[in-house]
Chain A
Amino acid sequence: MADLRYVGKDLPRPDAADKVAGRAYYIHDLVRPGMLWGKIKFSEHASARIAHVDTSRAARLPGVRAVITGYDTPEVRIGFLRDNFALKRDRVRQFRDEVAAVAATHPDIAAEAIDLIRVEYEPLPGVFTPEDALAAGAPLVHERDADGRPVTTNLLPVTVKHRSGDLAAGERASKYIVEGEFSTPLIQQACMGTAGCIAEMDTRGNLTMWAKTQIPFLAQRDFIRALEAMGLPGRNARVIVPTLGGAFGTGLDTHAYEYIAILLAHRTGRPVKILYDREEEFANLSPRQSARTRIVQGCDADGHITFRRIEVVQDNGAYTSWGATYPTVMLIPATSLYKVQNVEFEAKIVYTNNTYAQAMRGYGNPEVTWPIECTLDQLAEEAGIDPLELRVRNKNEPGETTPMGLQVTTCGLGECLELAKKKLDWESKRGKQRHLRRGVGVASLVHVGGSGRIYRSDGGGIILKLDDFGNVNVSYGGVEMGQGLHAALTASVAEALGVRPEKVAINPTDTATCPWDVGTHASRGAFIACNAAIRASAKARKKIFALAAEVFADEVKKNLQALIKKSPSYAPPAYDVAAACRADGFELASGVLSLEGAPDEPWLKLDLGRVLRAIHFRGVAGQMVIEEAFYEPPSELPDWSKGVGNMSASYAYGVQAFEVEVDEDTGDVRILHAVSAHDVGRVLNPQALRGQVQGGLAQGVGYTLYEEVKTKDGRVLNPSFTDYKIPTVHEMAFPVDVCFVETNDPAGPFGAKGVGEPGLVPTAPAIASAIWDAVGVRIHDLPITPEKIVRALKEKKAKE
């Protein structure tokens, strides 16, 4: 594959020019004829009975077209446990519960109307930690399940467990054992473009939804169910995805605001747009799940891991999103990060009256990599082995089948560790800079690199529609949300089909025109799309070549005649074009069709557009070249109750290493240098890939050092960028060495693995390890704020 023309090159992203010109249009920018503005009245209690809702004043406000509540609309249930409702009736279970909504002719009128709605509540006791929620006699967040059966516990009926090997034998074989409790906070995905949608219904009850989603086809299914609940069975929901201002997991579920827009559109007969402002986004859009983990890990005298036991408790909040299934991904690092034979994993997911949480980049992986890597660091310390060396001794290798049954086909973890060591000058730094309050730390990651099967189909389809001008219009059902999917897909189509990238156009994602795709999650976008593109391209080439065999000779004959007319002295080389025109005799590259082994004469080459026109305009023999392919990766849906199954077609390993300096007086952590080394299979676009890794790392830095959604009795206390800090350009002012290891995965498109999420997975433990090296304190609860460091340093001094 040395002769790739576009894959592996720094081609500019196809969406970049419009975005930088201000000509990319987001949900914020879209309007529909006659459109109304919807707005939601949120609960002011985390747990209460709704005694009375008075919408009369709001309804009388000029410009208001509809006011709806749970009492005057059909019950629309949300979520895979169907435990959430578009509009709440009788009972609120979290501060942000949707109690009423309005549609008005202007957003200001909608906001004014919301303020005129009066809701009387009778407060009820709530539970705000998983511990309280699991205590005997704790108030139940849900008294009945979706089928009306009484519920006796706040524990979700979702079981994810794993047990392999012999834990007792592992313990006996251990020279060192470390245990501890670690936690990760609720954080906000903080997309720069806030959430929003437009719902529009036709007179027959079919819905068109412009949605900020990563799962257009699962959303279509969800919305069709909502239409059924609204008494509109058999109707269709069409989902169109505009340019997304970031997503990071927020688009993996359908949301109450979307169903409310549908209900308002149905009630008013007009398109309805709901757009969250920043405060609403912070307070009312589900944040990342938080987790508390108990871990025990051991190693022998040589530092080989002997066993690992992990128990996770996840604060689900009041309702269930797909994010509740983080433990399905936690299984990956729990069982397969480093070689470990004896593993036990169990997760409890607990309802509370906190804001309900959802997915974010990494999806459970950082939550468990955090305790695994922190305790490995402690084991290295106890065993007197350099922590990077300990990781090398336990590194995963190609050909391994892990306790979860993951088949590690390719694995560059060892190379990534070597790169981190070299780039950070590890040996001359680790343990040698405490007098400068400086330290270095390292941590690794494993994540799905060939999609992650969590649904009965993990596939994605593609359509390549070639036109008379040689343009290739690509319809793929996955979502570009900023990660560079369209750049990877453009290069892959150009490469696999043999056209120039500027002739490739990716159509907007639309369930009406694109084939099914399970969704853009699990770092799967480029992996699935490009694999599908390669297959559809092969079909298109086959068809073009078969038909070219019938038209090529006539077309080049015209070329030759024109050439001889212009240059009568031209003597064509002796070459039998008609005999060479066999379906297996063509070459198509960069949009030019030629015959293999033909003399290098311009008249013997045809622009693809011309060939396609010749194929098209042949009277009754005319044909179009439109090809599709559906790619289903070779993986298995795991048995979650056993925690076993090869859920991905390949696995992505990586390492991050940091050098930090800690101010002992203020607790301030300054990052001096970072290395992020990743086994990416193969680089599809170096620039886009580097951007993905650097962006992930920045989110990892925020997660590690300061990001946290603060709540009190379920209420979000910091719903703004002033009170919720994400990294600014100043926090990211340190050099980052981004390194790629190419392992050329056999399942990957051109050998590539997915690498969308890994950038933030090992950041926290790598920084924590560096902080330990610098000042000798270990913080177990993210974020590692200056206050926690100063407190730990004080405690350390008191002990000394």
Chain B
Amino acid sequence: MRVELSFTVNGEPAELRVEPDARLVDVLRDGLGLLGTKEGCGNGECGACTVIVNGRAVCSCLTPALEVEGVDVLTVEGLAGPGAELSDLQQAFVERGGIQCGFCTPGMVMSAHSLLQRNDSPSEGEIRNALTGNLCRCTGYAQIIESVQDAASRLRAKAGKGGGRG
């Protein structure tokens, strides 16, 4: 019954056999042990399971695993640099208090990452639009928005210094 699936996750090749109706969130969590991706509803309503597939933020609970055949998937584990150094975005969340219980955080960060990849000068409205699908019950979102704004300015500062961002 199982079929072969091969794709790239966080820059590394992944090959495994999955049920044809497997969901991406289960393949990531149970198949590959990438537990950073959280499942909060299983219905695409809360955004906790957000990952980036081919540059686009998606709910991994709604994504059939076979859809990622041959494509690049980025999870929260792939954001940190060598030696587990947090990315600018992650560091901004830490320093700006964008985290309370933390269950929504990986999904929140992935949606924000997807936004900042496209736009390193997002307006507050653009940040809110990017986080539309990510529910948080703890923070009231204010410090999450501030975290993303701070991350954007960190990225711009790096780019301004010729830090490698185009």
CA of A736 to CA of B139, assembled, Å? 13
Q: Which one, A10, A246, A696, A722, contacts B103 given CB within 8 A? A: A246
CB within 8 Å for A278 and B40 given contacts A21-B77, A21-B86, A699-B137: yes
A168 CB-CB contact with B under 8 Å: no
CB within 8 Å for A277 and B103 given contacts A17-B86, A721-B135: no
A245 CB-CB contact with B under 8 Å: yes
CA of A552 to CA of B115, assembled, Å? 56
CA of A483 to CA of B100, assembled, Å? 6
CA of A730 to CA of B3, assembled, Å? 41
What does the 1/0 interface line of B70-85 toward A look like (CB < 8 Å)? 0000011101100010
Inter-chain CB contacts under 8 Å: number: 171
B160 CB-CB contact with A under 8 Å: no
Interface pair A729/B99, CB less than 8 Å apart: no
Interface pair B134/A191, CB less than 8 Å apart: no
Interface pair A694/B139, CB less than 8 Å apart: yes
A25 CB-CB contact with B under 8 Å: yes
Interface pair A22/B40, CB less than 8 Å apart: no
Give the Cβ gap from A787 to chain B, nearest Cβ, in Å: 23
CB within 8 Å for A733 and B137 given contacts A191-B101, A481-B101: no
Closest to A700 in B: B140
Q: Which one, A21, A26, A732, contacts B142 given CB within 8 A? A: A732
Q: Which one, A25, A192, A244, contacts B40 given CB within 8 A? A: A192
Q: A10 — which chain B residues lie within 8 A by C-beta? A: 97
Interface pair A732/B140, CB less than 8 Å apart: yes
Closest to A482 in B: B101
What does the 1/0 interface line of A2-17 toward B look like (CB < 8 Å)? 0000000010110111
Interface pair A26/B38, CB less than 8 Å apart: yes
Interface pair A248/B137, CB less than 8 Å apart: yes
Interface pair A729/B102, CB less than 8 Å apart: no
Closest to B46 in A: A721
CB within 8 Å for A720 and B104 given contacts A22-B36, A190-B137, A695-B140: no
Where chain A touches its partner, the secondary structure class is loop
Q: B137 — which chain A residues lie within 8 A by C-beta? A: 189-192, 246, 248, 695, 699, 726
What does the 1/0 interface line of A184-195 toward B look like (CB < 8 Å)? 000001111110
Chain B CB within 10 A, most for which of A24, A26, A687, A722: A24
Interface pair B145/A29, CB less than 8 Å apart: no
A23 CB-CB contact with B under 8 Å: yes
Interface pair A21/B84, CB less than 8 Å apart: yes
Interface pair A12/B95, CB less than 8 Å apart: yes
Q: A698 — which chain B residues lie within 8 A by C-beta? A: 139-141
Interface pair B40/A691, CB less than 8 Å apart: no
CB within 8 Å for A722 and B43 given contacts A21-B77, A691-B139, A697-B140: yes
A688 CB-CB contact with B under 8 Å: yes
Closest to B103 in A: A245
Q: B41 — which chain A residues lie within 8 A by C-beta? A: 277-278, 720-721
A243 CB-CB contact with B under 8 Å: yes
CA of A690 to CA of B96, assembled, Å? 11
CA of A419 to CA of B98, assembled, Å? 26
CA of A18 to CA of B29, assembled, Å? 17
Closest to A759 in B: B140
Q: Which 6 pairs, one residue from A and one from B, show the smallest C-beta to C-beta distance?
A: A22-B36, A482-B101, A19-B102, A245-B103, A698-B140, A694-B140
- Residues of chain A touching chain B, judged by Cβ–Cβ distance below 8 Å, are 10, 12-13, 15-26, 28-29, 189-194, 243-246, 248, 277-278, 481-484, 687-688, 690-691, 694-699, 720-722, 726-730, 732-733, 736
Excluding A243-B102, A277-B42, 7 further A-B contacts by CB distance (< 8 Å) are: A16-B99, A21-B79, A483-B100, A687-B97, A691-B139, A695-B138, A729-B136
